[in-house]
Amino acid sequence: MALEIGNKDSIEFKVEDKDLAKNLEISADDNFPEVFATARLVALMECSAAKVLIPYLEEGQLSVGVEVNVKHLAPTLSGDTAVSTATFDGMEGKLYKFNIEVVDSAGLIGTGIHTRAIVSKDRLMSGANKRVGK
């Protein structure tokens, strides 16, 4: 089974209070709204693209995000469901490119282009540990 342009997969995600921008505040000066956080939208998009690649991973491999270009187009309230659909758009060298759309009960909330790489988990973790002297 080969990965082909147009292969797609989706993830349904119920937005909870913990996913709201308000709960991502880091400093006392932050004042974010009580709507689905862009950071969580990006995570959902990445997960839907990663899901497309799962059947193509070999033992000890995983996919990692390399680049994200996202437009967060509309707010989503806690309790609503967001559905992210990633469509494989082709290769760029060794990188896997995806177009992603996310909708909630009222329509389109986000679009994006996302790039992933397939890597060896052991090699990735070894490199990460070397960076910090472990």
CATH 3.40.50.620, domain 8-131, yes or no:
no
Q: Are 61 and 114 in contact (CB under 8 A)?
A: no
Q: Kindly report the length of the chain.
A: 134
In this structure, the number of other CB atoms found within 10 A of the CB of residue 125 comes to 12
Residue 134 has what pLDDT? 79
Q: What is the pLDDT of residues 30-72, one digit of tens each?
A: 999 999 999 999 999 999 999 999 999 999 999 999 999 999 9
Q: What is the mean pLDDT of residues 6-33?
A: 95
Those residues with Cβ within 8 angstroms of residue 127's Cβ, 6 or more apart along the chain or in another chain:
none
Supply 27's token pair. Answer: 């400093």
Whole-prediction pTM: 0.94
Q: How far apart are CA 37 and CA 57, in angstroms?
A: 30
Q: What is the pLDDT of residues 69-97, one digit of tens each?
A: 999 999 999 999 999 999 999 999 999 99
| All structural domains of the chain with their residue ranges | 8-131
